[in-house]
Amino acid sequence: MLGNFVYCNPTKLIFGPDALEGLGEELNKYGKRVMLIYGGGSIKKTGLYDKVIKTLAACGKTVVEDAGVMPNPTSVKLDEGAKIARENSVDFILAVGGGSVIDYAKAVSVSAYCEYDPWEKYFIRFEDVSCKIIPVGCVLTMVGTGSEMNGGSVITNHEQKLKIGHVFGENVFPKFAILNPELTFTLPKKQMVAGFFDIMSHILEQYFSGSDDNTSDYIMEGLLRSLIHSAKIAVRNPLDYEARSNIMWIATWALNTLVAKGKSTDWMVHMIGQAIGAYTDATHGMTLSAVSLAYYRYILPCAPEKFARYAVNVWGVNPQGKSLEEVGEEGLREMGRFMEEIGVAMHSSEVGVTEDIIPGIAKATLIMDGGYKILTTEEVEEILRASL
């Protein structure tokens, strides 16, 4: 049964090929000094940077740039960005890029005026924001994280070999998100498919939790079927607008907190994947795909009914004459075939995991309690070895 919950999502979405035309109207709602955050310069090669700068100029904004955000934003970079925002008294932060850029922008927004070490306050102690927050907006160029419509922010501390996410409240959600699927067309295939699996993993982390037959499960099954269908098309033809637009829309709804309602949610695949990333700096979506099958096979006996439902309703497995566990295992085999078809990492060795660093990765893995089984550190090691 569904318990009590509150749902609010304040992010305004502007979607479609002409979405960027709405940027000026949104920017005019905020102050004059804008901090423009972006990554390694791909937005300059595609011409997006010039379009954004032109819009900022037309709105009379003073622009302060913070470039070079890496795929796994670090605590050192966060300190730099917070200092830039604070010393320039920025009124608004505009993130142009993928999930890492947007995650970083949200972290900067709550760190610029933080009286304590942001890494310790938010990512170690998981404390609430108690300082001034700089509002954030975004122009999305890569789908996967859902960061454009949630309060999540993941930061890596290389010195401590930790990669940790903090889910901030709705006051940190982007005020608006510009979603033009065509802006994702120039992504290299590896980043594209890594994003596809990140979306799938977000849905599965929420789906494989709880025992109730609720509306969220039906929504997630539909999202998964649509994702599988469109991802296969996009791998064959990355310029297929219909497929890429569907995937962009799925990614946003997969992690904007809607389908989590009524679910306890798991997130152990993400915890293991993030711990791998802290050690190897591998692409996030690939760390998830590398351990997913090993993890789900490990917990399948704890919830055979749900895994059988997944196999039948998402992958079309015929359950006749089979046990629940057999049906569930067949569903995972179908999932594995899909993963191979789109070209994501199938083993953790592909993302830099070696036997000697497994104990460290396991120790760095945060243990969550919302799934079907609460793991021990030793069990995380077992799953990592099975994933090699």
In a domain, 132, yes or no: yes
Do both 91 and 196 map to the same domain?
no
Distance CA 253, CA 258 (A): 7
Distance CA 246, CA 238 (A): 13
Do both 139 and 240 map to the same domain?
no
pLDDT, mean of residues 93-119: 97
* pLDDT of 95: 98
Residue 66's nearest CA partner among 22, 29, 111, 30 is: 111
* pLDDT of 1: 60
Do both 145 and 255 map to the same domain?
no
Question: String of b and e for 50-60 (b: at least 16 CB within 10 Å)?
Answer: ebbeebbeebe
Do both 363 and 335 map to the same domain?
yes
- Contact by Cβ (8 Å): 262, 215: yes
The pTM assigned to this predicted structure is 0.96
pLDDT, mean of residues 132-148: 97
Q: Which domain holds residue 17?
A: 12-183
pLDDT of 144 > 90? The answer is yes
Joined together, the tokens standing for residue 141 give 């160029």
Identity (one letter) of the amino acid at 61?
K
Do both 95 and 218 map to the same domain?
no
CATH number at residue 77: 3.40.50.1970
What pLDDT digit, counting tens, does each position of 286-328 carry?
999 999 999 999 999 999 999 999 999 999 999 999 999 999 9
Give the sign of the dihedral formed by CA 308, CA 311, CA 316, CA 319: negative
pLDDT range class, residue 41, cuts 50, 70, 90:
confident
pLDDT of 234 > 70? The answer is yes
Distance CA 298, CA 301 (A): 7
* pLDDT of 96: 98
Q: Which of 183, 198, 220 is the last residue of a domain?
A: 183
- The fraction of the chain above a pLDDT of 90, given in percent, is 96
pLDDT of 349 > 90? The answer is yes
Query: What single DSSP character describes residue 6?
Result: -
Distance CA 33, CA 90 (A): 5
* pLDDT of 40: 87
pLDDT of 12 > 90? The answer is yes
Per-chain mean pLDDT for the chain: 97
In a domain, 3, yes or no: no
The DSSP result for 98-140, as a single string, is SHHHHHHHHHHHHHTT-SS-HIIIIIIS-PPP-S----EEEEE
Do both 308 and 255 map to the same domain?
yes
pLDDT of 5 > 90? The answer is no
- Contact by Cβ (8 Å): 157, 119: yes
Do both 179 and 297 map to the same domain?
no
Residue 250's nearest CA partner among 229, 274, 278 is: 229
pLDDT, mean of residues 131-155: 97
How many domains does the chain divide into?
Answer: 2
Ranges of beta strands (E only) in the chain are: 12-15, 33-38, 62-66, 92-97, 136-140, 152-157, 162-167, 176-179
Distance CA 150, CA 252 (A): 9
Identify the three-state secondary structure at position 62. strand
Do both 126 and 231 map to the same domain?
no
* pLDDT of 138: 98
Distance CA 61, CA 3 (A): 46
pLDDT range class, residue 214, cuts 50, 70, 90:
confident
Q: Give, in order, the Cα–Cα distances in Å from 372 to each of 197, 300, 310, 334.
A: 21, 9, 15, 22
In a domain, 52, yes or no: yes
CATH number at residue 214: 1.20.1090.10
Query: What single DSSP character describes residue 28?
Result: T
- Contact by Cβ (8 Å): 291, 348: yes
Do both 164 and 229 map to the same domain?
no
pLDDT range class, residue 3, cuts 50, 70, 90:
confident
Distance CA 269, CA 290 (A): 10
Joined together, the tokens standing for residue 291 give 């351990």
